[in-house]
Amino acid sequence: MITQEQECIQFIANWRKASPQNRPQIVQEIASWHRESNRQIAKGIDFYWYEVDEEGDFVSPTNGEKITASINQECGLGQIETGVVKELQRQKKLGEELFIWISPPYPNTYVDLKLTITNRVVDKGRECFANRAILFDCDETQSLQLARKVAEISKNRPLLSSLEEIRRTPLVLDRSLDWIEVLTKITGDSKLGEIINSGEDQQAKTEAVKQASQFYDDLLGEPTIELKVENINFARDYGLGDSLSSCPVIMGGLTAPENSFSCPKCHRPIPYGRGMTVCPNKDSFGNRCGAKKEDYGNCN
């Protein structure tokens, strides 16, 4: 299995091969690596956007390129990841809005399991999909247990018998589910909701992009620097490659909300019997839905 040091050197080597005109996209990738390397779960959330083009496909907000076009198609892993993105796009065009994709470790490429939750957001008429990815140190058995547990609350409910089936199969969740609660139960981190609702994860990504820009200029901009273990220490000066978190602990089991109804405006659950006259839910920007009880019948 690839080590963290080997992963770091591999990433740096690939980034240095890229054309300088791809600097904005590479900086974003470095920033994602930075966020994911902070393995304190809630503090290690990597937040990023997909925008949606006129064809309904996901595109990068950095350069407008289709996400499927940015994935390396020369290897089997890249082809699998492209298939996952295409399936997410297909489900999105069918009206689905909430997904979880679990990508287990992959020999000589990925050290850790990555769990990504993706939800639809509309801001000022602009359709986007917000992604939040977290890495975990899971073995094969733990990876299967986690994926099967999450699959139990999915709409497609796939039978997952291997790591590759997990990797190929994004999970579609009912949009009425409180995805922050789902993610909190998966991770066992009670602070996660507060960090997401306050926008702290987005602010942290903004800061990571600033650090990544400096990292790019200091290391990737100097072609004479050799790719040795010293580069790992240099990278860690930027907060990259910290210690791993443990495999996620699912607290109390994952169940669909029974004593609630779906807000017809934001489509997230509102508890029954608590006297709520205004929808309490927030979007990924921290804005309250605000749909009033008397307006529920008129929301769309």
Encoded tokens for 300: 């769309």
Encoded tokens for 3: 């080590």
Q: Give the pLDDT of residue 158.
A: 94
Q: Give the pLDDT of residue 255.
A: 53
Q: Give the pLDDT of residue 283.
A: 62
Q: Give the pLDDT of residue 190.
A: 82
Confidence check: pLDDT of 55 > 60: yes
Domain ranges, ordered by start, for the chain: 4-236, 257-300
The average pLDDT across 179-188 equals: 88
The average pLDDT across 281-286 equals: 61
Tokens 């820009």 label which residue? 213
Question: How deeply is 104 buried, as exposed, middle or buried, from its count of CB atoms within 10 A (0-12, 13-18, 19+)?
Answer: buried
Q: Are 233 and 53 in contact (CB under 8 A)?
A: no
Tokens 């907000």 label which residue? 61
d(CA 29, CA 11) in angstroms, rounded, equals 10
| 170 or 22, greater pLDDT | 170
For 109-122, write each residue's pLDDT tens digit: 777 889 999 999 98
Q: Which amino acid is at 275?
A: G
Helix, strand, coil abundance in the chain, percent, nearest 5:
40, 20, 40
Q: What percent of the chain has pLDDT over 70?
A: 63
Smallest CA-to-CA distance from 256 within 181, 145, 158 is with 181
d(CA 127, CA 285) in angstroms, rounded, equals 13
Confidence check: pLDDT of 252 > 50: no
Predicted confidence band of residue 225 (pLDDT cuts 50, 70, 90): very low
Q: What is the DSSP letter of 154?
A: B
Confidence check: pLDDT of 275 > 70: no
Highest mean pLDDT: which of 11-20, 96-105, 210-219?
96-105
Highest mean pLDDT: which of 41-45, 70-74, 250-254?
70-74
Smallest CA-to-CA distance from 12 within 202, 246, 238, 244 is with 238
Q: Are 257 and 178 in contact (CB under 8 A)?
A: yes
Quick check: pTM over 0.75? no
